[in-house]
Amino acid sequence: MNGIHDMGGMHGFGPIELEENEPVFHEPWEGRVRAMRSTLPEVSSPYGGRFLIESIPPDLYLKSSYFERWLLAFEDALLRKGVVTAEELDEKTRFYRENPEAEVPRKGAAELAKSAVETLYTIRPTIEHDGSGIVPRFGVGDSVKVGNINISGHTRLPRYVRGKVGTVAKVYNAQGIQDHVPKSEQGPQPVYSVRFDGRELWGDEAESNHLLYMDMWESYLEPDQNTSGGSDQ
């Protein structure tokens, strides 16, 4: 999606703020959220955890910290999946606000676990990822043009390279496409490391002697018609 998360090349975010001897987590809740979300990756399917973060409204995305975005996306996933209801969550939130000394339970009821886990797995996507026998369309050195693709769902193709011309630097093994594409287009594709010259991406504003490399699923690319010698002819 052409979302706020796709920020490569944007201006206005200011200097990089560095923190000496930064802890892994600044607050204990950040670690809990990080651990909970990675313990239950299925909860985010079929959307994908990243898409849920990208779907946070832009103003909220920008004013939330990294782990606040994780929390928002996790909560969204749990609600969409029906693992918890909005009423349950609000009631429990009220409880901990009113009882700041209350402990979080350590263990739950086994009979509840069964139904909760079933809830979690009912919409699990089943995409086969067998990359064997796939022949890459492009080879190292080929000049390629990135498609002008504007998927409203999740995509790994940032805006700043769309329509740009680059050179295949490496051919990787096939990877399953992560984008929200129709079922017929899902599955593994060759992935390429594509090299772009800074000037191709940023014109006269580009810094000197600057290259950018990005991984490209094959469906992102087309042969560059303005150069000859591509292996796709």
Partner 1 sequence: MSGQHHGAPEPYPAIRARAIESLLVEKGLFTGDAIDAKVQAYESDIGPMNGAKIVARAWVDSGYRERLLTDGREAIAEIGFADAQGAELVVHENTREVHNVVVCTLCSCYPWAVLGLPPTWYKSFAYRSRVVIEPRKVLKEFGLELDDSVEVRVWDSNSDIRYMILPERPDGTESMSENELAELVSRDSMIGVAKVKLPAQVG
Residue 228: CB minimum distance to partner 1, A: 26
Shortest spacing between CB 42 and partner 1, in angstroms: 10
Q: How far is the CB of 120 from partner 1 (least distance, A)?
A: 7
Q: Report in angstroms how near the CB of residue 170 gets to partner 1 at its nearest.
A: 8
Closer to partner 1 by Cβ: residue 89 or 232: 89
Q: Least distance (Å) from partner 1 to the CB of residue 106? A: 4
Task: Report strand pairing: 143-146 vs 165-176.
Answer: antiparallel
Is 168 or 201 the residue whose CB approaches partner 1 more closely? Answer: 201
C-beta of 10 vs 123, nearer to partner 1 = 10
| Cβ closest to partner 1, residue 29 vs residue 231 | 29
The residues pairing with 143 across neighbouring beta strands, listed in sequence order, are: 167
Measured from the CB of residue 84, what is the shortest distance to partner 1 in angstroms?
5
Tell me which residue of 45, 72, 77, 78 sits closest to 60, measured CA to CA: 72
- DSSP, residue by residue, 171-196: EEEEEE--S---GGG-SEEEEEEEEE
Phi, psi angle pair for 22, to nearest 5°: -65, 135
Long-range pairs for 71-77 at CB < 8 Å and ≥24 separation?
Answer: 71/29, 71/33, 73/37, 73/44, 73/49, 74/33, 74/36, 74/37, 74/43, 76/52, 77/43, 77/44, 77/47, 77/49, 77/52
Cα separation, 52 vs 46, whole angstroms: 10
Q: Which is nearer to partner 1, 65 or 225 (CB)?
A: 65
Closer by beta carbon to partner 1, 5 or else 145? 5
